[in-house]
Chains A and B, each alone.
Chain A
Amino acid sequence: MTDSFQSRIDLEMTINGEAVELTVPAGRHLIDVLRHDLGLTGSHVGCEHGVCGACTILVDDSTVRGCLTLAAQLQGCEVWTIEGLTEKGVIADLQKAFVERNALQCGYCTPGMLASAKALVEAEGVPSRETIREHMSGNYCRCTGYEAIVDAIETVARQRADETGARSRAGETVAKARAGARS
């Protein structure tokens, strides 16, 4: 091997909010580092070529395929898996809705589904069912038939929009009161 190329890579990144230092084989996938090296087995592996979505996780706030990402590519990045997202409570409402709507059976697809759905429920407004299906098209579920998953995501998107609406209405009242106080 020539000098510039390395077979093992030293990395620093943040995983679920914790700073981590690692030395990994250059060809090691992010998903294998998480599952095998760090014991974070919540993220799953299905097809290993980007098709099924079971390995979907968050890197720097965007969804990525853990099976199509080498750990070496992520120097300095921030990674969140289902373990960290659960602990932080940021998708607690989605998880509750999945349980209530029976949007999982074997659960194999669920961590990837939740990572993909997170971006959608965080966007402004309430997506149509068609938009939800389009957005979730990269995540296979072999059990549920999808209907319940769409229901759960729609429910949470609506709840969050109502809360934001209520907050901004409250904000408006405060702003009006302030404006009134000035005049």
Chain B
Amino acid sequence: MKASIGGYTRAETVSHALSLLAEANGAGRLLAGGQSLIAALNLGTTSGDMLIDIAGIGALRGARIDGNRLIIGALTRHADIASDPLIAEHAPLLAKAAPLVAHDAIRNRGTIGGSLAYADPAAEYPACAIALDATIILEGPNGTRQVAAQDFFLGLFETARADDEILAAIAVPMAADGERHVIREAARRSGDYALAGLAVVRRDGRHRIGAFALGDRPLLCEGAMAALDGGDIDGAVAALATDVDPTSDTQASAAYRRHLAGVLLRRIAIDLGVG
């Protein structure tokens, strides 16, 4: 099917994009890499949008250190996340997640901001953001807002971002010495959206687990985290089964997804040398 859109324009700066959003009067839709949006347009799940192409806003691209946080611009592409040495050193979880996101050609254009804003429950970065205790930085007509990742993802494709706001960056606490980051997922074909996945951070002996494709949003798995802190793998796997809330679809049943989550957690425990 062919995309049906209302119009197209390019934004030069963040403030320009915000004024274009205001001008579009509710019909404006930000276009970053287009790797989810254009697919949605082709499938006819959205139409008549006034596209505001933000891909040329240089200030939103790349990673930099700010105090003890790594700030990654919304327009940083998946391929850059996978190869940027700053990200590999200070946010290795994201560097490990990027190669799991889609395929080479899609990683060359898709952006981390687009993935976080789109909030697909099967996407890797939102779960990583939760496991990392990251902060989402939004720019709107009334200035900058910072929202904890855990409060940002509200439901299926639903976030705390208001329609007149741009997701500008994600801020990640820089990994400390000895911190461990692991991500594992099960997918039918390498690069496809996961059937189940877990992103885990071990910081100062405590674990944070973000689950993806296991609910209507990325989930922080507090029961499994507490058990893992105590070195109890069987307890963690049992708790995980109630932490997650998967649904059945044509790809996999809820029971199968729940089973996969347990298998992934056991493998991650081995990676981390727990138990």
Contacts and interface: CB of A to CB of B under 8 A. Distances in A.
B56 to A, nearest CB: 9
Interface in B57-90: 79
A50 B3 contact: no
A56 B105 contact: yes
A5 B103 contact: no
Interface string A1-36: 111111101000000000000000011010010000
A110 B6 CA distance: 35
B39 A68 contact: yes
A138 B42 contact: no
Contacts of A116: 104-105
Interface stretch (B20-28, B115-123, B256-264): B20-28
Given A5-B24, A49-B39, A70-B38, A63 B105 contact: yes
B102 A138 contact: yes
B79 to A, nearest CB: 8
B42 A48 contact: yes
A109 to B, nearest CB: 13
A69 B102 contact: no
The A interface is mostly helix, strand or loop, or mixed, namely mixed
Interface of A: 1-7, 9, 26-27, 29, 32, 48-50, 53, 56, 62-65, 67-70, 72-73, 75, 116, 119, 133-135, 137-139
Contacts of A72: 8, 53
B101 to A, nearest CB: 11
Nearest to A62: B108
Interface in B18-48: 20, 23-25, 31, 34-35, 38-39, 41-43
B275 interface: no
Contact of B6 (A5, A32, A53, A75): A5
B1 to A, nearest CB: 7
Contact of B43 (A26, A49, A119, A133): A49
A5 B106 contact: no
The B interface is mostly helix, strand or loop, or mixed, namely mixed
Contacts of A73: 31, 34, 53, 55
B5 interface: yes
B191 interface: yes
A119 B104 CA distance: 10
B35 A26 contact: no
B103 A137 contact: yes
Given A53-B103, A64-B109, A68-B35, A4 B190 contact: no
Contacts of B103: 53, 137-139
A99 B108 CA distance: 29
A1 B9 CA distance: 12
Contacts of B106: 50, 65, 68, 138
Contact of B35 (A32, A48, A50, A56): A50
Q: List the 7 shortest-distance A-B pairs measured between CB atoms, nearest first.
A: A138-B103, A5-B7, A26-B8, A63-B105, A27-B5, A137-B190, A62-B108
Contacts of B39: 49-50, 68
Contact of A69 (B5, B34, B50, B190): B34
B4 interface: yes
A148 to B, nearest CB: 19
B7 A6 contact: yes
Contacts of A3: 23
Nearest to A51: B192
Contacts of A7: 6-8
A121 to B, nearest CB: 13
Interface string B167-210: 00000000000000000000001110000000000000000000
Contacts of A139: 103
A135 B104 contact: yes
A67 to B, nearest CB: 7
A1 B42 contact: no
